[in-house]
Structure 1
Amino acid sequence: MPEAAAAPDWLREGFKHLWLPYTQMQTAPTPLPVVRAEGAKLFLADGTVLVDGIASWWTQAHGYNHPHIRAAVAAQLEKLPHVMLGGLANEPAMVLATRLAKLAPGDLDHVFFCESGSVSVEVAMKMAIQYWINRGIRGRTRFVSFRHGYHGDTMACMSVCDPDEGMHGHFKGYLPEQIVVPLPRDAAGEAAFAALLAQRGGEIAGIIVEPLVQGAGGMKFHEPASLSFLRRVSEAQGHLLILDEIMTGFGRLGTMFASEQAGIVPDIMTLSKALSGGTLPLSAAIARRHVFGAFLSDRPDTALMHGPTYMGNPLACAAANASLDLFEREPRLQQVAAIEAHLRERLAPCRALKGVVDVRVKGAIGVVELDRAGEGVWLRPHFLERGVWVRPFGNIVYLAPPFVVSQDELAQLTGAIVDVLQIWSRERA
Structure 2
Amino acid sequence: MNLINRDRASLWHPYAPASPTLPLWEVEEASGVTLRLKDDDGARHEVVDAMSSWWSAIHGYRHPTLDDAARRQLSRFSHVMFGGLTHEPAVELAERLLAMAPADPSHAPLGRVFLADSGSVSVEVALKLAVQYQSAVGRPRRQRILSIRGGYHGDTTGAMSVCDPLDGMHATFAGLLSHNVFAPRPPGAATATPEGIGAWRDAVDGLARIHSDELAAIIVEPVLQGAGGMFVYPSECVRALREIADRHGLLLILDEIATGFGRTGELFAANHAGIVPDILCVGKALTGGYLTLAAMLCNDEIARTVSAGGAGALLHGPTFMANPLACAIANASLGLIGDGGWRHDVRRIGAGLANGLARAAAYDGVADVRTIGAVGVVELERAVDVPALTRAAIRRGVWIRPFRNLVYTMPPYICTDADVATIAEGMLGAIAEMHAEVRA
- Distance between the aligned counterparts of 2:385 and 2:28, measured in 1? 28
Out of 279, 288, 306, which is 1:295 matched to? 306
- Deviation of the 1:183 alpha carbon: 2.8
- Deviation of the 1:44 alpha carbon: 2.3
What code does the residue aligned with 1:15 have?
R
What code does the residue aligned with 1:262 have?
A
Out of 87, 93, 96, which is 2:93 matched to? 96
Q: How many residues matched? A: 421
Contact 1:52–1:389, Cα closer than 8 Å, also in 2 = yes
Deviation string 1:137-171 (CA, Å, 9 cap, x unpaired) is 11111111111100000001111101111111111
- Deviation of the 1:30 alpha carbon: 4.4
Matches within 5 A, 1:60-139: 60-106=57-103, 107-139=109-141
In the other structure, the counterpart of 1:344 is 354
Contact 1:184–1:193, Cα closer than 8 Å, also in 2 = no
What code does the residue aligned with 1:261 have?
H
In the other structure, the counterpart of 2:157 is 155
Verify: 1:37 aligned to 2:30, yes or no: yes
Contact 2:31–2:62, Cα closer than 8 Å, also in 1 = yes
- Greater mean alpha carbon deviation, residues 14-23 or residues 364-373: 14-23
What code does the residue aligned with 1:81 have?
S
The 3-state SS of whatever aligns with 1:349 is helix
TM-score scaled by length of structure 1: 0.95
Matches within 5 A, 1:20-419: 20-26=13-19, 28-45=21-38, 47-106=44-103, 107-185=109-187, 186-297=197-308, 301-329=311-339, 331-419=341-429
- Deviation of the 1:329 alpha carbon: 2.6
What code does the residue aligned with 1:37 have?
A
Q: Which runs of 5+ in 2 are unaligned?
A: 104-108, 188-196
- Distance between the aligned counterparts of 1:404 and 1:330, measured in 2? 13
- Deviation of the 1:25 alpha carbon: 2.1
What code does the residue aligned with 2:258 have?
M
Deviation string 1:163-221 (CA, Å, 9 cap, x unpaired) is 11111111112211111221344211111111111111011011000011110011011
Verify: 1:421 aligned to 2:418, yes or no: no
Deviation string 1:244-267 (CA, Å, 9 cap, x unpaired) is 000000010111100011000000
- Deviation of the 1:56 alpha carbon: 0.5
In the other structure, the counterpart of 2:10 is 17
In the other structure, the counterpart of 1:3 is none
- Distance between the aligned counterparts of 1:284 and 1:67, measured in 2? 24
What code does the residue aligned with 1:12 have?
N
- Distance between the aligned counterparts of 1:14 and 1:233, measured in 2? 49
- Distance between the aligned counterparts of 2:100 and 2:266, measured in 1? 12
Deviation string 1:299-351 (CA, Å, 9 cap, x unpaired) is 67231121000111110000000001111236111100001101111100000
- Distance between the aligned counterparts of 2:62 and 2:200, measured in 1? 45
The 3-state SS of whatever aligns with 1:48 is strand
- Greater mean alpha carbon deviation, residues 330-339 or residues 202-211: 330-339
The 3-state SS of whatever aligns with 2:367 is strand
- Deviation of the 1:422 alpha carbon: 2.2
Deviation string 1:47-90 (CA, Å, 9 cap, x unpaired) is 42111111100001111111101100111001011111100011
- Deviation of the 1:426 alpha carbon: 3.1
- Distance between the aligned counterparts of 2:260 and 2:394, measured in 1? 29
- Deviation of the 1:380 alpha carbon: 1.3
The 3-state SS of whatever aligns with 1:427 is helix
- Distance between the aligned counterparts of 2:432 and 2:306, measured in 1? 57
Contact 1:251–1:333, Cα closer than 8 Å, also in 2 = yes
Q: Which runs of 5+ in 1 are unaligned?
A: 1-6
TM-score scaled by length of structure 2: 0.93
- Distance between the aligned counterparts of 1:422 and 1:18, measured in 2? 33
Contact 2:222–2:255, Cα closer than 8 Å, also in 1 = yes
- Distance between the aligned counterparts of 2:23 and 2:383, measured in 1? 22
Contact 1:100–1:109, Cα closer than 8 Å, also in 2 = no
- Deviation of the 1:401 alpha carbon: 0.4
What code does the residue aligned with 1:268 have?
I
- Distance between the aligned counterparts of 1:184 and 1:24, measured in 2? 33
Contact 2:217–2:251, Cα closer than 8 Å, also in 1 = yes
- Greater mean alpha carbon deviation, residues 214-223 or residues 419-428: 419-428
- Distance between the aligned counterparts of 2:435 and 2:314, measured in 1? 53
What code does the residue aligned with 1:73 have?
A
The 3-state SS of whatever aligns with 1:14 is helix
Tell me the percent identity.
Answer: 43
Contact 1:271–1:283, Cα closer than 8 Å, also in 2 = yes
Deviation string 1:352-406 (CA, Å, 9 cap, x unpaired) is 0110000000000000000011432331111111111011100000011001011
Deviation string 1:4-51 (CA, Å, 9 cap, x unpaired) is xxx7x4443233111111102236424211122111111125542111
Provide closer, same or farther for how the CA distance between residues 253 and 93 of structure 1 changes in structure 2, counting only shifts above 3 A.
same
- Distance between the aligned counterparts of 2:5 and 2:365, measured in 1? 38
The 3-state SS of whatever aligns with 2:211 is helix
What code does the residue aligned with 2:162 have?
V
- Distance between the aligned counterparts of 2:248 and 2:373, measured in 1? 32
- Distance between the aligned counterparts of 2:86 and 2:185, measured in 1? 41
Deviation string 1:67-114 (CA, Å, 9 cap, x unpaired) is 101100111001011111100011100110111111112311200001
Compute the RMSD of aligned alpha carbons: 1.4
- Distance between the aligned counterparts of 2:392 and 2:18, measured in 1? 22
What code does the residue aligned with 1:225 have?
E
Provide closer, same or farther for how the CA distance between residues 144 and 290 of structure 1 changes in structure 2, counting only shifts above 3 A.
same
What code does the residue aligned with 1:177 have?
H
The 3-state SS of whatever aligns with 1:302 is coil
In the other structure, the counterpart of 1:4 is none
